[in-house]
A and B are shown apart, each in its own frame.
Chain A
Amino acid sequence: MNIDLKLENIGKKYIISHEVKDRYQTLRDNLSKKVKYLFRKNVKHKKEEFWALKNINFEVKSGERIGIIGRNGAGKSTLLKVISRITEPTTGKLKINGKVASLLEIGTGFHPELTGRENIFLNGIILGMSNAEVKSKFDEIVNFAEVEKFLDTPVKRYSSGMYVRLAFAIAAHLDPDILLIDEVLAVGDVGFQKKCLGKMEEVSNKQGRTILFVSHNLGAIEKLCSKCLLLENGEIKFFSSDPSEIIKKYLSNELILSSYWENIKNIYINQYFKPIKFYIGDKMGNLLTMPVRNNEDFYIYIQGEINELDNSLTIGFAVFDEINNCLFWSYQTDTKDTNWPKLKKGNNTIYCKFPNNLLNEGNYRLELICSLHFRKWIFQPSKDNPSINLNIKGGLSNSSYWMIKRPGIIAPILQWMLKK
């Protein structure tokens, strides 16, 4: 078998500057800083290095399907970015054999003013097809996306479903040797997701293409991938040809450790709300280890620093199940205004009780979400924000008839009565 991809000692370093709020600098700040240094020579730059990837070594043979899993911030997306050449590695060597196409976010380069037809060509070429290739696959793409009637309508008038279908259809008809996929299956309705999964299986099985697939959807990884790679803090923790084994290891590791998140790297810096801790604890605030029983009381704690108090600040969490369905959101502002916790400048810890006997037994991911209400996301769901895991096991009910897990996402206990 040919080797399609070879990574040797790949590392990627980012510099985090603690003075800069955003990723880019402004000339004004830079000039004023330089002036400051002229007068005070001893001031040191508070810059910190952060290795998003460290010491990555692996090979991918032709036709292999590699699933990449790991927690948010483990370096999965950075790894794909390095392989797709979007960003350059800081250390190491990378050898790519063949044409690479990446679906880091479908619909990249769609222009709302252009029609469906025009966007098929533009997007196809952006994703690496040639003009001739797009032409020859045009009908297939249109059929797959089911948008024949709207080909000459600007995509800004498309429904979001049509938009996603068209975008995926183009991506699915790329013909690269190596395909990189990052979480595209998190979009669209269930029917379309199934269609996408089917298409991916067809692509990898029949056409023998090499695929690297990043996802939180562990079920899809288990189903589709022939090998699995687990990343932790930018390093490869496990890499083997038994995906279910690795998924099991990942989950069991997650279960014990991951109900607690702390901002060790000192990132997510912003003036409105910088998270410090995010964890599941008991009433006193002590950390609880997973799993918890469904009838046991447990609380979600969020600690963070506010530099600029904004009245529209909402802080909370979003709950996702194992296959990445969003179950619900909760914010500190969900009640009547007068009952909101009063935030102050500086360090705040807010907490809430998680309802008993609501969710079924299983693994859930809690993501910290935070926004200025209807103005700006500070932590948007599924955008690499702090996340912890909740594992519920046992305590489903006191009934002797309900001892083991039943089907369904939720497992509430309803009170039954006899009508008189």
Chain B
Amino acid sequence: MGKETKKQTINIEAGRTEKNYWLDIWKYRELFYFLSWRDIIVRYKQTAVGLAWSIIRPLLTLLIFTVVFGKLAKLPSEGIPYSILVFSGLLPWSFFSNSFSESSNSLITNSNLISKVYFPKIIIPISSIVTCFVDFIINFILLLGLMLFFRFIPKATILLVPVFFFIGFLFITGFSLYVASLNVKYRDFRYIVPFIVQIGLYLSPVGYSTSIIPKELKIIFSLNPMVGIIDGFRWAITGKTVLYLPSLYLSIVISLIMLVFGLFYFRKTEKFFADII
């Protein structure tokens, strides 16, 4: 024995929400760090091509989109190489779709942890979003390479990318938390996730620019918060496209609402995860 350090006391009362929840997350930050680390390592260990895969995948998508939308459909490129136009949209989109699919399933794939050990469960979906951030960085480096290839010089607006990334991160977190908890409760929800991703790809200006959307439809189109975020990315990266401000404001507002709602719903259902998972 010997060391008589001050023990921490925890009081739990039925029906009362834990006051120290947010403090607990801080206490479990090492677990958070290790879970992200595990996901990253396992991801690159499991696939035979490993790291190469996260380079090949976006490049292939880019090639297909450029050929289909730029060359075959001949959509306007606003004086930017079409691949850069596509890639500036693909960058936020692939981050969104990857982290959404990963984190909405993350609670189920980690069910053995949830039913055996206590920790703030919010760590799991958030850490899988962080894992996808690695891919985002790789993609961003690819984009810089692409710019070099086309001798395309970005403007200072490119420094605003983190701002738009942050808005996107808020939205994805809120949305993923909501879907992740639904997924625990209704196990067939996971079939809906790929569907949302697929539909979303066409409803968001990934392969095309917002300029082809008729003016009167623009505000309805912008109800999809990814529109403002992707447009923001594209504006910041290329410095040439027009940033339609109402859609950006809408994105910010919807993202914040989604975040609050997602957090609220997650906290509400979290207590029952261990009982039903």
A27 and B188 within 8 A (CB): yes
Interface flags for B117-152 (1: CB within 8 Å of A; 0: not) read 111000000000000000000000000000000000
Give the shortest distance, in Å, between B103 (CB) and chain A (any CB). 18
Q: Select from chain B the residue with minimum beta-carbon distance to A4.
A: B7
Give the shortest distance, in Å, between A194 (CB) and chain B (any CB). 25
Interface flags for B188-232 (1: CB within 8 Å of A; 0: not) read 110010000000000000000000000000000000000000000
For chain B, residues 85 to 127, give those with C-beta under 8 angstroms from any C-beta of chain A.
112-119
Interface flags for B18-62 (1: CB within 8 Å of A; 0: not) read 000000000000110010001001100110000000000000000
A86 and B188 within 8 A (CB): no
Q: How far is the CA of A96 from the CA of B118 in the complex (A)?
A: 14
A113 and B45 within 8 A (CB): yes
Segment with Cβ contacts to B, from A122-130, A325-333, A370-378: A122-130
Give the shortest distance, in Å, between A180 (CB) and chain B (any CB). 11
A30 and B186 within 8 A (CB): yes
Chain B residue numbers with a CB within 8 Å of A312 are none
Q: How far is the CA of A98 from the CA of B186 in the complex (A)?
A: 36
The B interface, classified by DSSP as helix, strand, loop or mixed, is helix
B73 within 8 A of A: no
Q: How far is the CA of A108 from the CA of B114 in the complex (A)?
A: 10
Most chain A beta carbons < 10 A, residue from B45, B117, B271:
B117
B12 and A24 within 8 A (CB): no
Q: How far is the CA of A141 from the CA of B180 in the complex (A)?
A: 36
Give the shortest distance, in Å, between A136 (CB) and chain B (any CB). 14
Q: How far is the CA of A364 from the CA of B262 in the complex (A)?
A: 51
Q: How far is the CA of A109 from the CA of B189 in the complex (A)?
A: 25
Interface residues of A (CB under 8 A from B): 10-11, 14, 22-28, 30, 81, 84-100, 102, 104-105, 108-109, 111, 113-114, 118, 121-122, 125-128, 130-131, 177, 207-208
The 5 lowest CB-CB distance pairs between A and B, nearest first, are A27-B186, A85-B118, A98-B7, A94-B12, A26-B188
Can you spell out 15 A-B residue pairs with CB atoms less than 8 angstroms apart? Answer: A23-B276, A27-B186, A84-B118, A86-B117, A87-B274, A92-B14, A93-B11, A96-B12, A97-B7, A100-B118, A109-B112, A111-B42, A118-B41, A126-B117, A127-B117
Interface residues of B (CB under 8 A from A): 1, 7-14, 30-31, 34, 38, 41-42, 45-46, 112-119, 182, 184-189, 192, 271, 274-277
